[in-house]
Amino acid sequence: MTSRTDLHTLGVADASRALASGACSSTELVTHLLARIDAHAHLGAFLHVDTEGAVRAAREADARRAAGQAGALLGVPLAHKDIFVTTAHPTTAGSKMLAGYASPFDATVVTRLAEAGCVSLGKLNCDEFAMGSANENSAYGPVRNPWDRDRVPGGSSGGSAAAVAARLLPAATGTDTGGSIRQPASFTGTTGIKPTYGVCSRYGMIAFASSLDQAGPIARSAEDCALLLSAMSGFDERDATSAERPPQDFHAQMLTPRANAPAARPLQGLRIGLPREFFPAALGSDVESTVRAALAEFEKLGATLVDVSLPRTELAIPVYYIIAPAEASSNLSRFDGVKFGHRAARYANLLDMYKKTRAEGFGPEVQRRIMIGTYVLSHGYYDAYYLQAQKLRRMIADDFQRCYADCDLIAGPVAPSVAWKLGEQGDDPIQAYLADIFTLPASLAGLPGMSLPAGFGQAGMPVGLQLIGNYFAEGTLLHAAHAFQQATDWHQRSPA
């Protein structure tokens, strides 16, 4: 029988096995986690906790199991990043602009996880409209890193990553536009995967940059991520960007042995490319040594390391910070005080209402990106900036394809440093933008990528290893990650 005081230590796969065997019930697990969430409110991870709804859903899951129903995720608790619209919980996108908004429908990702039997505990804090690298841009306060409460958890899915790291729940949904699953996973010692663009439906996910936004899970392990991604993914006719592919069992793909690979060397024949641009002189020595040690472990497991080049890596930052703000400027134009969301209390006319509503409702980072995006899309600048950025984006994607002629996966650090102190980069947003240099290229190319706990760096803070696969190679990514986690225990470490 699982100890009732240790239920929070269960990951998704562990909880699934415990529920299936009767070692615990979903009601016991959910009740235990709700108490833990309340005790750790100081982390700022949750924006809304649905105690009554979660307990009711857990009891329903227990009744379904008692009636003979089964399912890997039946009764497993999680929570959703507050960028997914939900009928059962408020949706704010971390912004005052949506304070009090009640969605009339659920996001597809939310619906699919509910249909798989997951129990939602509530909504998680995030950078406003998913814009940020530190989760300091939320209108409802910052999220704190459970490894050091004076440091950021990364963003924009910082609430999701912090909640999983603090063992407040086994897993959470997140979104990744330029690294917003992988970077917070790295900063908090959790595992996160951004699938190929189009694998998970964007329907009901409040848009930041439509050609970049993609949903994915943050959890304890690759196995947990595989179970969740299998339920979250799949074609959705309501999303024009959804990939028309049959449902995938990523968990089965993760467990499928490589051809002719012995048990002792499960990754034999796997070629892992190391772009020289991912190991610049400016990379923190603590991060580099940790990543190199993790790569040595992959070699022990049979993988071969191959030197490759992504020559346009440095251009990813200016390209992303032209394309993403341009799309944000267009997407956020709907928040005008007319249809839904915040509206200024006093105004002289319609134009004055627009101005005051948006000035009051949007925070500084969102305003900054809207202004940049409007500028690069304006007459006389579109060709010079936005069009050129799109051409370079295609070249960045082509660089990856040249690499995949020589390797199966690409590896490197997730971020140049460990998590920084809260407020440390508040006066210099460019520094936060530069922290995305290793995650942006894969996002611009639409490739799948994930972050694995690889060890610890300066001040005892977690360091993540990034793996990037070719299009729709999630199975290969998860298989390699799972083999690494079977041989190491970094993913099992938790903050005091």
- CA–CA distance from 68 to each of 23, 148, 358 (Å)? 16, 44, 52
Contacts of 185 (CB under 8 A, 6+ apart): 154, 161, 191, 192, 218, 414, 450, 451, 464
Contacts of 223 (CB under 8 A, 6+ apart): 11, 12, 13, 251, 254, 482, 485
Q: Whole-angstrom Cα distance, residue 18 to residue 89?
A: 28
Amino acid at 365: E
Amino acid at 236: D
Domain at 4-254, CATH class? alpha beta
Task: Report the b/e string of 104-142 with b at 16+ CB within 10 A.
Answer: eebbbbbbbbbebbbbbbbbbbbbbbbbbbbbbbbbbeb
Q: What is the pLDDT along the chain (496 residues), one digit of tens a residue?
A: 445 789 999 999 999 999 999 999 999 999 999 999 999 999 999 999 999 999 999 999 999 999 999 999 999 999 999 999 999 999 999 999 999 899 999 999 999 999 999 999 999 999 999 999 999 999 999 999 999 999 999 999 999 999 999 999 999 999 999 999 999 999 999 999 999 999 999 999 999 999 999 999 999 999 999 999 999 999 999 999 999 999 999 999 999 999 999 999 999 999 999 999 999 999 999 999 999 999 999 999 999 999 999 999 999 999 999 999 999 999 999 999 998 889 999 999 999 999 999 999 999 999 999 999 999 999 889 999 999 999 999 999 999 999 999 999 999 999 999 999 999 887 777 777 888 999 999 999 999 999 999 999 999 999 999 999 999 999 999 999 999 999 999 999 999 8
**Continuous H helices in 273-315:** 285-300
> Phi and psi dihedrals of 274, rounded to 5?
-115, 100
Structure tokens at 139: 């209108």
DSSP 98: G
Nearest to 225 by CA among 173, 166, 291: 173
Domain boundaries of the chain, sorted by first residue: 4-254, 318-382
Contacts of 221 (CB under 8 A, 6+ apart): 11, 12, 13, 191, 482, 485, 491
Catalytic residues: 81, 156, 180
Q: Whole-angstrom Cα distance, residue 189 to residue 453?
A: 5
Report helix, strand or coil for 304. Answer: strand
Q: Whole-angstrom Cα distance, residue 318 to residue 81?
A: 27
Residue 178 and residue 212 in contact, taking contact as beta carbons nearer than 8 Å:
yes
Residue 458 and residue 148 in contact, taking contact as beta carbons nearer than 8 Å:
no
Q: Whole-angstrom Cα distance, residue 372 to residue 104?
A: 32
Residue 174 and residue 451 in contact, taking contact as beta carbons nearer than 8 Å:
no
Q: Whole-angstrom Cα distance, residue 17 to residue 19?
A: 5
Structure tokens at 210: 């439509």
What stretch of H or E contains 108?
Answer: helix 108-115
Structure tokens at 464: 């993540």
- CA–CA distance from 118 to each of 20, 157, 158, 249 (Å)? 14, 20, 21, 17
Nearest to 229 by CA among 211, 209, 251, 208: 251
Q: Whole-angstrom Cα distance, residue 445 to residue 430?
A: 22
Q: Whole-angstrom Cα distance, residue 62 to residue 99?
A: 34
- CA–CA distance from 385 to each of 326, 380, 391, 444 (Å)? 10, 10, 10, 16
Residue 109 and residue 215 in contact, taking contact as beta carbons nearer than 8 Å:
yes
Neighbours of 313 (CB within 10 A): 20
- The sign of the dihedral angle between the CA atoms of 478, 396, 133, 148 is positive
Omega before 285 cis (within 30°)? no
Mark residue 473 as left, alpha or beta (left: phi above 0; alpha: psi -120 to 50; beta: remaining): alpha
Q: Whole-angstrom Cα distance, residue 91 to residue 356?
A: 22
Largest CA distance in the chain: 74
Look at residue 1 in the predicted model and tell me its pLDDT: 43
Report helix, strand or coil for 299. Answer: helix
